[in-house]
Structure 1
Amino acid sequence: MGKHSQRGCIRCGTCCRKGGPVLHHQDKEIIRAGHAGYQHLITIRRGEMAFDPLSNGLRPAAQELVKVRGRGKEWCCAFFDAARSACTIYPHRFRECRLLKCWDPADLLAVVGKETLVRADLINPGDPILEMIALHERECSCEEVERLIAALSTPHHRDKALARLTTLVRRDLALRLYAERELGLCPDYELFVFGRPLFNYLEARGVSLPLVAPRVRGE
C-alpha cells in the first residue's frame, strides 16, 4: 500500500497500541453511563513529561489531563482487544477515538488540549478526595520534581536534589496510603486520583532512589 493511499480504517490496532485517548468534556456521559470507570483512567499532572502530538515529542504537560490508561505496564489502551483487533466499547468510544484517522490526523490535532477534562470534572463536589488531590499537588508537584531532576546534572546541587526527591517520593506514597486507608479510596482508582507514583515517574525519567521502596499500582 503506497503512502497516503489509505482512506479508511483497516483495524490494524496500531493507534490503540500506542495508548489511550485524552478525555474531553463530551466524554463525561460515557463515564456517567458506566461504559468506562475510574479504574480505566490515569491522570497526567500539570508539569509531567508527556507525549505532545502537536510537537511529536515529550514536553511538560501545560495542563492537567485525564486519559484512558494502558493495560498493566503496557501502553496499549485498556479497551483494546488484541485478539480481535477491536475496541471493546466501540459504540461508546471517546471523542478522540471518533476523530482519529491515522491517514489524516487533522481533525484530531485540531482538538488537542481543548475542552479537556480534569479530575474535578469527574468527582462529586464535596468529596474529601478533592482535598487530598489539592494537598498532593501542593506538596508533590511535578514542576518541582522536574526542577530537581534538572538540578541532578549539577554536581554542586546533586546531593541536595536527591534528598529532596526522596522526601517527595515518601510524601507521595504516604498520601496515597492515607487516602486508601482513611478515605476508603479503591486501589484501582489510584492512578486516576493521584497519577503515576513519583517513584515510577522518576524511574521512567532515569532517576533511581534505591532507599525508597516502590509501591506500584499498575501502569
Structure 2
Amino acid sequence: MKECKQCGICCRKGGPALHTEDLPLIIDDKAIDLTDIVTLRKGELAFDQPESTVVPLAEEILKIKGAGGEWTCKFLALSSNVCRIYKSRPLECQLLFCEDPDPLLKIYDKGRLTRRNILPEGHPVLEIIDEHDKKCFPSKMAQLASDILADWNDSENLKSDLREMLIYDKSIRELVTEKSGLPAESMDFFFGRPMHRVLAGYGISATPNGKSFSLRKS
C-alpha cells in the first residue's frame, strides 16, 4: 500500500470542504474555529475538483480558509508540509490521497455542512444572514455583472444597483463586528466572501472609494 509523501501539493490546492462528520471538530474539540471557515454561498462561482472547472455552486458549502489570500490551506505549515491540526483533520483530508481519489469522490458532495448546521436555532445573527442573502444573492449579482458588461457605457442604473449591493455587504460586516463583538475574521463564515471579491470572478473589479465603490472591467 502506497503512503502519502507529504509533499503538500493537495493542501496547496485549497482547504477542504466540511461535512457533517466534521461538526465535532468545531463544536466539541474546538480544533476549527469560525474564523478558520469561509462560506461559499449558493450561486457563487467555485472550482469543482472532480470536473476540474469553475461552476456556480448548487448549494452552500463551508471550507477551511486559505492562507494570506491564497488557496493554500491555512493549517499547512509551509516550511515542513505538515498539517498543524493533523490529529483533528477534517473528513476530506482523511480520505484524500492523490494516487487514489475514489474514496474522496464518493463523499465529495454528500453531507456537507452549512451555517445552519453550526449556528444554534435562535442565534441572533441568523436573521441578519437571511436578510443579507436576500439583498446580496450571488446569482443576482452575477446577472447584474453580465448586464453591465454587455453595455458598459450605458448601464449607470445597473451600476448603481451593483454599488448598493456592495455597500450593503461591506456595511453589514462592519456593523455586526462592531455591535456583536464577534471577530472581523469570522465575517467570512457568517456572510461568505466579501461581494467585491466574488464580483471579480465575473469580470468586474470593485475598489472601495469612500462610502462607495469604483467599478472597472477586470
Assess same fold via TM > 0.5.
Answer: yes
* Residue 69 (str. 1) matches residue 42 (str. 2): no
Cα offset, 1:209, TM superposition: 3.3
Cα offset, 1:200, TM superposition: 1.9
Hey, what does 1:14 align to over in structure 2?
9
Aligned-pair RMSD on alpha carbons?
2.0
Determine helix, strand or coil for the equivalent of 2:22.
helix
The answer as to whether partners of 1:199 and 1:214 remain within 8 angstroms in 2 is no
Hey, what does 1:3 align to over in structure 2?
none
Hey, what does 2:180 align to over in structure 1?
183
Deviations 1:123-176 (A, max 9, x none): 122111111111110111101011112212322863333221111000111211
Instruction: State how 1:7-156 maps to structure 2 within 5 Å.
Output: 7-32=2-27, 33-155=29-151
How far apart are the structure 1 equivalents of 2:161 and 2:169?
A: 12
How far apart are the structure 1 equivalents of 2:206 and 2:30?
A: 39
How far apart are the structure 2 equivalents of 1:168 and 1:197?
A: 11
Q: Normalised by the size of structure 1, how large is the TM-score?
A: 0.89
How far apart are the structure 2 equivalents of 1:171 and 1:193?
A: 15
- In structure 2, relative to structure 1, the CA distance for the partners of 1:120 and 1:212 (3 Å cut) is farther
- Percent pairwise identity: 32
Cα offset, 1:50, TM superposition: 0.3
The answer as to whether partners of 2:142 and 2:199 remain within 8 angstroms in 1 is no
How far apart are the structure 2 equivalents of 1:122 and 1:77?
A: 21
Q: Which runs of 5+ in 1 are unaligned?
A: 1-5
Give the one of 151, 155, 158 matched to 1:158: 155
How far apart are the structure 2 equivalents of 1:11 and 1:214?
A: 46
Q: Which runs of 5+ in 2 are unaligned?
A: 213-218
Q: Normalised by the size of structure 2, how large is the TM-score?
A: 0.90
How far apart are the structure 2 equivalents of 1:211 and 1:73?
A: 18
- In structure 2, relative to structure 1, the CA distance for the partners of 1:214 and 1:62 (3 Å cut) is farther
Give the AA of the match of 2:184: P
Cα offset, 1:36, TM superposition: 1.1
Give the AA of the match of 1:161: L
Give the AA of the match of 1:194: F
Give the AA of the match of 1:8: E
The answer as to whether partners of 1:170 and 1:212 remain within 8 angstroms in 2 is no
Hey, what does 1:195 align to over in structure 2?
192
Q: Which has the higher strand share?
A: 2
